[in-house]
A and B are shown apart, each in its own frame.
Chain A
Amino acid sequence: MDDLRDKYLTAIRNAADEGTLEEVRLAAIGKKGEVALMMRELGRMTPEERKTAGPALNALRDEIASALAARKHGLEDAALDERLASEWLDVSLPARTRRRGTIHPVSQVTEEVTAIFADMGFGVAEGPQIETDWYNFDALNIPGHHPARAEMDTFYMARADGDDRPPHVLRTHTSPVQIRAMQDRGAPIRVICPGRVYRADYDQTHTPMFHQVEGLALDRDISMANLKWCLEEFCRAFFELDDLELRFRASHFPFTEPSAEVDIRCSWEGGTLKLGQGDDWLEILGSGMVHPKVLRAGGIDPDAWQGFAFGMGIDRIAMLKYGIPDLRAFFDSDLRWLRHYGFGALQVPARHAG
């Protein structure tokens, strides 16, 4: 029996491929294999003989079977190693193309602004871009002859012959949305109104279309000091500068009284703008306490409610925050610009993520 064992273990060890190994298996422990035949002989043995031969044969069969399995494994590994050795990719080749899209800075900044104001309880209101002159001007205390009306470089819609209504305008600011929001929601109210606005102006720093965000907060006792706090909080969060200083200075807008221009501290040292440091001031927005006439136009009693409004340029604060030099390029759709200044699809502004 030891001879048998040596014979087959040697044959297994020497089998060079799976075919040979299978032949060995059949010869040894296959149905008609040598070991199987010997096991058939067990029946003819005496019980004593069987007592020793039986377990020995079983052990021999198991040993051969596991040697076969081990050898089979070894052969497969060798075959795999051989295949792997021949499989080689130049992984420095470019990968398959994945198009990567971008979000325009105007959209990104609008969402950033929305996220910050939402945290302070402001909702988002929208309104039509073609407006009646009442919503765009009269309701905002800009009567027909007001110099501000001429200075706004308003775009007018053409009027058909026989249509004697005052021509509609492309809204020159997002302020008309204030009026609509007051009419729709009443007081108290906190909303921002981002959107496109239009003025007939085109030069280095002006485009006939740009973006503004309007803010409105009305309650029983909202003051200009609250306005300053609100804008400070906004600017510090938006520009990511914890100690950014704001300066209010008196100004005039027909729809607010008192009115203030708001500047942020900056420096122009070496020709580059740095926010939050230095001795210069950069104007970033206009604001004030909503004029009683404007409240009335929005259907709100100025003796019962008071509050503030502000308006700032979305494109402008985008330029300041992200160092974008030219406003005109915002609307040119130059692919190189879009990819350089754009944002990833998943860079969704959220207060918890910054």
Chain B
Amino acid sequence: MKFTLSWLKRHLDTEADVATIADALTDLGLEVEGVQDRAARLNDFRLGFVEAAEGHPDADRLKVCRVATADGPTQIICGAPNARAGITVVVASPGTYVPGIDTTIQVGRIRGVESHGMMCSEREMELSDEHDGIIELPSGEVGERYVDWLAANDPAKVDPVIEIAITPNRGDALGVRGIARDLAARGLGTLRDMPDPVVDGTFPCPLGVTIDDDTRDGCPVFALRMVRGVTNGPSPEWLQAKLRAIGLRPISFLVDVTNWFTHDLNRPLHVFDADVVQGDLRVHRAAGGETITALDDRDYVLPAGAMVISDDGGPESIAGIMGGGHSGVTDATTNVLIESAYWDPVQIATAGRALRINSDARYRFERGVDPVFTPDGVDHAAAMILDHAGGEASDRVVAGAVPDVARSYGLSTDRVVSLVGMDIPAADQRASLTALGFRVEGEAPAVTVHVPPWRGDVQGEADLVEEVARIASLTELKGRPMARPPGVARPVLTPMQSRERMARRTAAALGYDECVTYSFVDGAAAALFGGGTDTTRLENPISADLSHMRPSLLPGLLRAAARNQARGQNDLALFEVGAAFDDGEPGAQHVEVAGLLTGHAAPRGVHGERRPVDAFDAKADAEAILSAIGAPARAQILRDAPGWFHPGRSGRIGLGPKKILAIFGEVHPRVLRALDVKGPAVAFAVLPEGVPFPKATSAARAPLVLSDLQAVERDFAFELDGRVAAQDVVSAAAGADKDLIESVRVFDEFTGGSLREGRKSVAIAVRLQPTDATLTDAQIEAVGAKVVEKVIKATGGTLRG
């Protein structure tokens, strides 16, 4: 919302300067987005009088002028065609910054003759586009500041323009008068009276208007008035200047009148050329499919149910949004119909969205205009038209009735103080509300407040508290300590929140860089990871590559890897902690800690560490994270990881086939190809929610049991089928004597050599820890035999000699 200072002063009697007004507006909740104060830049320009002008000895088009200035007689070289003796001009003396040419004036020599300043055009001062010559003023004294002269003679030229942001509740501030009312309530001046104009009709309005029954809930009242015999044409200069200042293009007087009241009183109007309208007007709902060419010269197809104003020939105006071109006024219009109607905000918003029309009228009706003021709108417009364009006005026709929006709410002035935390005396509260147009009845602390019709947003006590608070000024609010928890602050994170944090810090400690990728990915990428169906599809994605909620964090990480690889970064360790989505219902999400390694485990170097990353890197990191978040050490390794992993080089870590804690492995080459990632690439995804929380509530650990007896380690090697899992060897061996065997560790695996194709050798070290007495050779032999027997039974392998 834009307006100028002088426009504001038509409604507000104030001596406050622009800066004070701007500060107050922002504090009141009408946030100032910009103040364009053209005068402030022109303070140094002063009037001069050209006493003599002679041709330049060396240039035909230049004149050497003797100018009386604030600094005395001065020689200025000027190239303007109208530079001549006897005119009053605007002078920029040396040192003055001229905004239109972005130059600070210096004493200079122009073709050999000294020049001590510059006489300016309007464009050079950015006052207008006028640049046919230098300014000639009809009055003014030598040495007078040009801004003072403008303020006295042509204030519109330097009228500061203020732009404010309007929150959705403040429809009333979409008119300059509403803004003035807020400022007056703050004490920045007095709201000027605005008497309703009295316009006597000299003839009955020749057109009638009806509202269809099914449209009355969207258009309760519609007023109409004709003015005949008008002379349309350009608006008076003051009106054009005001409209231009706020960025509107003057069209013709009759159109400008509607724009004026839209911005002045938040009263959108429409004018029809009465000679084009056929028969009476009818307010009704579109059946759907009708077309209309609107005032913006574009064709619109009306959605079913949208409100429309038609005559006998068809739709003439999209109600509350934009008039039609067919019956719009032109310079030739002599008989004009003025419409002022009240349109339901929700219905206008719906139709406006469907039609994708953004207009000043829609913007205002959507936020709610004053319904009670509706019929007065035609009178204001008629009076203004009669004043400037002549003609005579008809009687006023009103269809429907002004809706009753009168309402009141109880307000506790004590509660205001309690909620805001500021001592606002009850009398001040009453004064603020009254100044805003509310009527306050009763005695504090319990008063009844009647809401003015232009404040449709005020719907209860809380809204009244807000009004009082903002007029009292929240800038003045002083912080007041709130009670702090007594004693030492207690931990606040839930066990799951702590776990996520631990997983994150562990991944970073393992050398992974944390990414935050979008929660949505493209459908194809989602499909590679078991998602990409309609249940996780966005109805209105911002682009096709962000169309589906991610089923896993890996596609996002792989995409990130591809981008980094394209920048020449190939050895990557990326991870992310966040939600993955199972379907489109709230809560159907699970937390993943996902990691991705690509390229080599280390760069080329003197220590020969460079090797491609492999599935065991991913497994190690997944296990490290699981361990950090308290997963049981004895988790199982299962095969059959999801299809986005290499089928032979991937696995799952679980407490059983249904209790999966993590998946890991080489990423499937087809997935890499589809996502443009250069392999090798291995990944893991830990599911921290699957890890059971410890049952113990005490921080105390189980006692540490140590044996002083010598432990014994024995090695065994088995020849096995190539696809027997080492894990089976280990658990079979461990089962040989659960009391004695402390650990079983695989320390070697190989194929080839003397082994047949499809066979492998696995070597384990079995550590025996006696607790009662030192082991005898016979005992060790017996356990060894049991280990061999168990492993052979479980795996079908043989002991290697």
Contacts and interface: CB of A to CB of B under 8 A. Distances in A.
B469 A155 contact: no
B581 interface: yes
**4 tightest A-B CB contacts, nearest first:** A99-B511, A225-B421, A223-B421, A250-B29
24 contacts: A97-B605, A98-B511, A100-B511, A107-B516, A118-B492, A124-B492, A130-B584, A130-B585, A130-B587, A135-B586, A160-B534, A170-B519, A196-B519, A209-B518, A224-B477, A225-B479, A230-B482, A248-B477, A250-B28, A250-B466, A289-B420, A334-B564, A339-B513, A344-B508
A40 interface: no
Interface in A125-148: 126, 128-132, 135, 145-148
Interface string A210-231: 0000000101011111111111
A198 B506 CA distance: 28
B539 A167 contact: yes
B46 to A, nearest CB: 30
B367 interface: yes
A111 interface: yes
Contacts of A274: none
Interface string A163-201: 000011010000000000000000000000000101011
B161 interface: no
A63 to B, nearest CB: 42
A247 B475 contact: yes
Interface in B383-436: 418-422
B616 to A, nearest CB: 16
Interface string B308-352: 000000000000000000000000000000000000011001100
A289 to B, nearest CB: 5
Interface in A219-273: 219, 221-232, 246-252, 254, 257-261
A333 interface: yes
Interface string B567-606: 1010011110111010011111100000000000011011
Interface string A73-107: 00000000000000000000110111111111011
Nearest to B481: A229
Contacts of B419: 223-224, 258, 289, 306
Contact of A168 (B28, B167, B353, B584): B584
Interface string B480-522: 1111110001011110010001001111111111111111100
B787 to A, nearest CB: 37
Interface stretch (B88-96, B541-549, B654-662, B743-751): B541-549
Contacts of A259: 466
Interface of A: 93-94, 96-104, 106-107, 111, 114, 118-124, 126, 128-132, 135, 145-148, 150-151, 155-160, 167-168, 170, 196, 198, 200-202, 208-209, 217, 219, 221-232, 246-252, 254, 257-261, 289, 291-292, 306, 330-336, 338-339, 342, 344-346, 348
Contacts of A335: 513, 564, 567, 569, 572
A293 to B, nearest CB: 8
B542 A200 contact: yes
A280 B608 CA distance: 57
B563 A103 contact: no
A292 B478 contact: no
Nearest to B515: A333
A31 B572 CA distance: 70
Nearest to A209: B518
Contacts of B475: 247-249
A106 B516 contact: yes
Contacts of A289: 419-420, 462, 465
Contacts of A225: 420-422, 477-480
A159 B345 CA distance: 28
A254 to B, nearest CB: 8
B357 interface: no
B584 A158 contact: yes
A222 B419 CA distance: 7
Contacts of A94: 605-606
Contacts of B584: 130, 157-158, 168
Contact of B27 (A121, A148, A157, A250): A250
Nearest to A142: B168
B482 A226 contact: yes
B195 to A, nearest CB: 31
Given A196-B519, A257-B465, 6 more contacts: A97-B603, A102-B508, A120-B485, A129-B519, A150-B353, A224-B474
Given A146-B168, A147-B168, A257-B462, A129 B579 contact: yes
Nearest to A251: B29
A168 B349 CA distance: 21
B504 A258 contact: no
A226 to B, nearest CB: 4
A306 B572 CA distance: 51
A145 B345 contact: yes
B492 to A, nearest CB: 4
A332 B512 CA distance: 16
Contact of A156 (B167, B539, B557, B588): B539
Contacts of B519: 129, 170, 196, 198, 209
B167 A208 contact: no
A245 B518 CA distance: 35
A179 to B, nearest CB: 12
A155 B504 contact: no
B418 A291 contact: no
Given A107-B504, A289-B419, A335-B564, A96 B482 contact: no
B610 to A, nearest CB: 9
Contacts of A119: 489
B169 A252 contact: yes
Contacts of A331: 516-518
B31 A224 contact: no
B285 interface: no
Contacts of B607: 96-97
A314 B676 CA distance: 32
A289 B461 CA distance: 13
Contacts of B508: 101-103, 344-345
Given A104-B516, A257-B466, A331-B517, A124 B168 contact: no
B89 to A, nearest CB: 37
Contacts of A250: 27-29, 466, 469-470, 474
B646 interface: no
A257 B28 CA distance: 14
B480 A223 contact: yes
Given A107-B504, A128-B586, A224 B421 contact: yes
Contacts of B540: 155-156, 200
B301 interface: no
Contacts of A111: 501
Given A221-B418, A223-B420, A249-B474, A229 B480 contact: yes
Contact of B463 (A107, A257, A332): A257
Interface hub of A103, A106, A254 (most chain B Cβ within 10 A): A103
A102 B587 CA distance: 29
A333 B572 CA distance: 11
A96 B543 CA distance: 44
Contacts of B345: 145
B538 interface: yes
B514 A338 contact: yes
A334 B474 CA distance: 43
Contacts of A131: 586
Contacts of A104: 514-516
B609 interface: yes
Contacts of B564: 333-335
A268 to B, nearest CB: 15
B534 A129 contact: no
Given A124-B492, A334-B563, A338-B514, A170 B538 contact: yes
Contact of B567 (A147, A224, A334, A348): A334
B366 interface: yes
B26 interface: yes
B204 interface: no
